[in-house]
Amino acid sequence: MDNQSISMLHEKLKQEKGIHTDFKNDMTYGEYLGLDQLLSSQKLLSNHHDEMLFIIIHQVSELWMKLILHELKSAITAIQQNKMQPAFKMLSRVTKIQTQIIQAWDVLSTMTPSEYLEFRDKLGKASGFQSYQYRLIEFALGYKTKHILKIYEKDKALSQVLDEAFKAPSIYDVSIQALAREGLPINKELLTRDFSITYGGEESVAAAWKEVYLNVDKYWDLYQLGEKLVDIEDWLQQWRFRHMKTVERIIGFKIGTGGSSGVNYLKKVLDHRFFPELWDLRTNL
């Protein structure tokens, strides 16, 4: 921008007489957002330039995951209350958030293996594998892994939150209940099953979803619900894939700082399906 353009911009700003500049007794933008705390939360353990990138990428991802959980919890409640339209809005928002998290891997992948090695040892045993919000997302989607809970025993309050989420119905469990509410013949044992066990598929659910997709006009809300769930799983798997490829690009097949097998572990979880009948019906329709 040249000097003339800058002068014109300053003149235009002067004409905005309603702009508030005195905040002695009013809350500022920074105070509302808690920016002092937020922007001072990057505690570098090394002097390496790229550690700031590493910390911020993961902190931003955790903030997005917090919003995903906020939307998923409300969507589960809405579906239980048969309030489908609000649930659809929330689930659509989740997929948009997922695109942001996926793109974060592109930024992190600008860090080379040599650069990461300069500060990797400073992480100790800390690892993204320990992200409790990611585990809560998996629980909300129905993937329940009991051995994971041991990681969080250090924090009693957090451990209780995870235990409750572990035992609670997932979004797919309440979707199956929604199928039953519409009169579709669902195995009654599924409606009161132990929700701490990862759901693996069932014939009556497969038949119900097939009926929905063959009679879209009759079951329009359930049809939309099915597609919203497919969107979420699709984007989650893309996030998992980008995670795996970014890790492979930066550390190859080294063991993760948290003790996992790294890339090999990330490849294994790609095979898990959250909503199996919704994917199988693509073949069976």
The answer to whether 116 is annotated as binding is yes
The answer to whether 148 is annotated as binding is no
CB 57 within 8 A of CB 108: yes
The answer to whether 197 is annotated as binding is no
Distance CA 50, CA 110 (A): 10
The answer to whether 32 is annotated as binding is no
Distance CA 204, CA 176 (A): 10
CB 59 within 8 A of CB 42: yes
Distance CA 145, CA 166 (A): 8
The answer to whether 48 is annotated as binding is no
Q: Quick one: tokens of 164?
A: 């409750």
For the chain, helix, strand, coil in percent to 5 are 70, 0, 30
The answer to whether 54 is annotated as binding is yes
Other CB atoms within a 10 A radius of the CB of residue 225 amount to 25
The answer to whether 257 is annotated as binding is yes
The answer to whether 58 is annotated as binding is yes
Nearest to residue 92, comparing CAs of 231, 279, 219?
231
Residues at the annotated binding site for substrate? 54-58, 116, 120, 257
Residues at the annotated binding site? 54-58, 116, 120, 243, 257
Residues at the annotated binding site for heme? 243
